[in-house]
Amino acid sequence: MIAAASMLASCSPRDTGNTATAATIDTAAVRDSISAIISGMPGEIGVAAIIDSRDTVTVNDIDKYALMSVFKMHQAIAVCHSFDLKGIPLDTILEFDRTSLNPDTWSPMLKEHQDAHFRMPVSELLRYTLMQSDNNASNLMFDRLVSVAETDSLIATLIPRNCFRITERESDMQSDHAKSYNNHSSPSGVARLVERLFTDSILSTEKQEFICETMRGCHTGADRIAAPLAGKDGITIAHKTGSGYINESGILTAHNDAAYITLPDGTSYTLVILVKDFAGNEKQASDIMARISDTVYRAITRNKPNN
């Protein structure tokens, strides 16, 4: 096992094989199990798991996976950071016309607000993006609050530059699906950002707690990482999903999930699964992600009482 020279020098978090957690979690076995699941699958699948902020497992950890709506987590952090700097509260109201929004994109917000002109606090726009992956809300915040370039630059102060890149809005990707690949990341790049969001102080307490709590209410992707954990008492899951386009060859460009999971005994872990160019449907991709999630969960809980 080769450890990174430093946490900031490498895209991958350091694999600390001699920690107390490692005594009960065989990270090599987990890595092998995940590799066996994805072996021969019709697409590229990358995984990063960080357990109790110490033990790290990565598979196919390369910066090439299209983020899709996972970047809305990055965007939320950038918006909240900007508001912190300016001393602006998240209940600040934005006014906009329905005609400025795209009726042909995924937008629960547009369906739920039928007036020609309406007002909405920024906190509600963030809830739409983080909980329901609303594209109009995301485009609106990029256009009116914090730009794509500003978001990319801010995130580069939180995780290594070689882990990710964000250059496109949802509207850009809808106009040209090939641009989806321009917003890319490695699995560990996303995992490190999730870890910082849930375990570090990167924003004001109020705004950071707002993002974390909103992600715990995410409505999308229940059949992915969350699927094998559903119905288990005392588990909390905060996550952000991303779903790609089907191209002209019938290939699913991306199918993603990034989660922070807390177990009843206080053990926590981050799990990120990114799927690229999958020659199958979303259900098949989700089933693979659920199997990986179950594998990681079982490895963590194997030696715990009542599991």
Catalytic residues: 69
Distance CA 263, CA 277 (A): 32
Contact 203, 157 (CB under 8 A): no
Nearest to 1 by CA among 23, 16, 22: 16
Contact 221, 104 (CB under 8 A): no
Q: Which two tokens stand for residue 239?
A: 């996550």
292-304 CB burial, b ≥16 within 10 A, e <16: bbebbbebbbeee
The widest CA-to-CA distance across the chain, in whole angstroms, is: 60
Number of other CB atoms surrounding residue 223 within 10 Å: 16
Exposed / middle / buried, residue 8 (Cβ in 10 Å: 0-12, 13-18, 19+): exposed
**DSSP assignments along 79-140, one per residue:** HHHHHHHHT--TT-EEEEEGGGS-TTS--HHHHH--SSEEEEEHHHHHHHHHHH--HHHHHH
Q: Which two tokens stand for residue 245?
A: 């386009």
Nearest to 199 by CA among 212, 210, 186, 189: 212
Residue 158 three-state SS: coil
Q: How far apart are the first and last CA of the chain?
A: 29
